[in-house]
Structure 1
């Protein structure tokens, strides 16, 4: 499913991404908070390129807020950061604050919520670099547990 709104906004844009295993949903807002783009992209290398291209076509990204920069969005986080885009972790609100009772989860609205967080600068964190000593220890423990399973 794809939904595109007002095309061609120029100037700073604020982006939100809701990440999943198979696809990522992107929402782009212009500097006035108007939705410029809302679209789903595949979670693969071609999808990362297309998503980055959609952001660049919309304008200069002031902030790209993503949910799940350390899990489903790790590859996209690395890709956008390598292009020089300012990527931040969108901290998920509590479930009761995120959805009204009786309503299901909506990826498009989650992406828009992240874009609005990018615009306001609230509820944002720094994505993990995934190249420090913590990840080295995580790899070592995973390897060790695999060796122990063979014994």
Structure 2
């Protein structure tokens, strides 16, 4: 049985907010590559896409996992959809699972990216 981690080389988790989004790039084994924060403006999103392309060396085997694709992440999701990158909506984060671990936008974006690795493809 195949899992999502076998299909892509990189995963980009995005913790979305009104003024800025926090991005984390990980490998298909969950290793942290980079974390960055960019404004939600069109220019900020363009910078984020360029930044991600540099870290992944333009590898289109990169899955974007975006929180709130119908709310704060909608504009970003629209921009990603115009590229050749695949994009999916992040599942809801389980507050109980992160109890006692801490809360930060960087940690949330990492968790978002990592959340899809073990999902089955069927």
Q: TM-score, normalised to structure 1's length?
A: 0.66
**Larger Rg over CA atoms:** 1
Q: Which residue of 1 aligns with 2:97?
A: 97
Q: Which residue of 1 aligns with 2:87?
A: 87
| Contact 1:77/1:87, CA 8 A, preserved across alignment | yes
Q: Which residue of 1 aligns with 2:118?
A: 120
Distance 2:14 2:89 in 1: 10
By how many angstroms is 1:95 displaced?
1.8
* Bigger relative contact order (CA 8 A; separation at least 6): 2
Match runs of 1:100-111 below 5 Å = 100=100, 103=102, 105-111=103-109
Structure 1 stretches of at least 4 aligned residues deviating more than 3 Å after TM superposition:
none
- Structure 1's unaligned 5+ residue stretches are 1-10, 123-151
Distance 2:63 2:118 in 1: 10
Q: CA RMSD in A?
A: 1.9
Q: TM-score, normalised to structure 2's length?
A: 0.80
